[in-house]
């Protein structure tokens, strides 16, 4: 397993994203991921699967201290009392005394951000949260968050068609982790001719090429969703080959600013 080191801490660079995993599918995927060697699990209050993940963590033959566990505050829980209440509920569902990373899921109430982050800092002071983060924050929003709290991570849509160059620059400058969700562009990357050609050259799958490219970036982790054992294994098999500088440039050239995840409550991405 490769690690990304930010603010002096090593985090497994490849994790399991659990968006749209629920019920027995979620339990099976998390259990198999842990069995295969995954040690970074990403969830959210809004995913509705913290309970399933907690069931697996409670019986898995893996020490809790080996797992980097992240969850996110729901959009309706930004008020300080709701931050604390909802996080404590998340901890009960997850069956743990703490999460390694607690993120603001979306900047839907950005004017309330100082109070939200202050409440999150209180949870950190109480030992219930090890690191604070945000998700789906634009570069200006991220810079504002950095003024208010020690931000460890910004989790955003990040793939070859949406290269996030501004956030990458900020991540290097301020030493926070940029976590890529939907790293395969919801499957679109699998049909790209450039990625397919590079994959053939390495006897790999296009998904593995994309993950290798992402993890070659400084300060970057990725949390692809996988529900089958075959995909879980395939995503892990990205540490036994390297991309050439020319290949990385080819992949970087695919950036079109294509954004797939853009709900009505999303921020103005251009500001």
Burial class, 271, CB count within 10 angstroms (exposed 0-12 / middle 13-18 / buried 19+): exposed
Q: 105: closest CA among 166, 163, 154?
A: 154
Residues known to be catalytic:
47
- For residues 4-39, one letter each, b for 16 or more C-beta atoms within 10 angstroms of the residue's C-beta and e for the rest, the string is bebeeeebbbbbbbbbebeeeebbbbbbbbbeeebb
- Rounded Cα distance between 59 and 99, Å, is 17
Integer angstrom CA distances of residue 8 from 5, 123, 178: 6, 21, 15
Phi, psi of 103 (to 5 degrees): -115, 150
Which tokens belong to 59? Answer: 């019986």
Strand partners, 70: 42, 101
Q: 217: closest CA among 169, 161, 260, 269?
A: 169
């Amino acid at each position: 397993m490769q690690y990304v080191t930010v603010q002096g801490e090593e985090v497994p660079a490849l994790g399991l994203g659990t968006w749209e995993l629920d019920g027995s599918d979620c339990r099976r995927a998390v259990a198999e991921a842990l069995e295969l060697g995954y040690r970074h699990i990403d969830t959210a209050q809004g995913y509705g699967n913290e309970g399933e993940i907690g069931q697996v963590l409670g019986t898995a033959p893996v020490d809790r201290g080996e797992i980097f566990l992240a969850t996110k505050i729901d959009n309706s829980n930004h008020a300080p009392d709701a931050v604390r209440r909802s996080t404590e509920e998340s901890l009960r569902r997850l069956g743990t005394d703490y999460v390694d990373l607690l993120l603001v899921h979306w900047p839907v109430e950005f004017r309330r951000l100082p109070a939200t982050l202050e409440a999150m800092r209180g949870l950190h002071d109480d030992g219930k949260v090890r690191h604070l983060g945000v998700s789906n924050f634009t570069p200006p929003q991220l810079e504002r968050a950095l003024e208010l709290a020690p931000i460890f991570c910004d989790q955003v849509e990040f793939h070859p068609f949406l290269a996030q160059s501004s956030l990458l620059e900020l991540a290097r400058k301020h030493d926070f982790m940029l976590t890529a969700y939907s790293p395969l562009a919801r499957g679109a990357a699998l049909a790209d001719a450039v990625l397919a050609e590079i994959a053939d050259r390495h006897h790999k799958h296009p998904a593995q090429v994309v993950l290798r490219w992402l993890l070659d970036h400084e300060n970057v982790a990725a949390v692809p969703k996988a529900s089958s054992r075959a995909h879980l294994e395939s995503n892990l098999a990205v540490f036994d080959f390297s991309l050439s500088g020319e290949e990385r440039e080819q992949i970087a050239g695919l950036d079109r600013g294509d954004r797939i995840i853009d709900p009505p409550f999303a921020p103005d991405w251009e500001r």
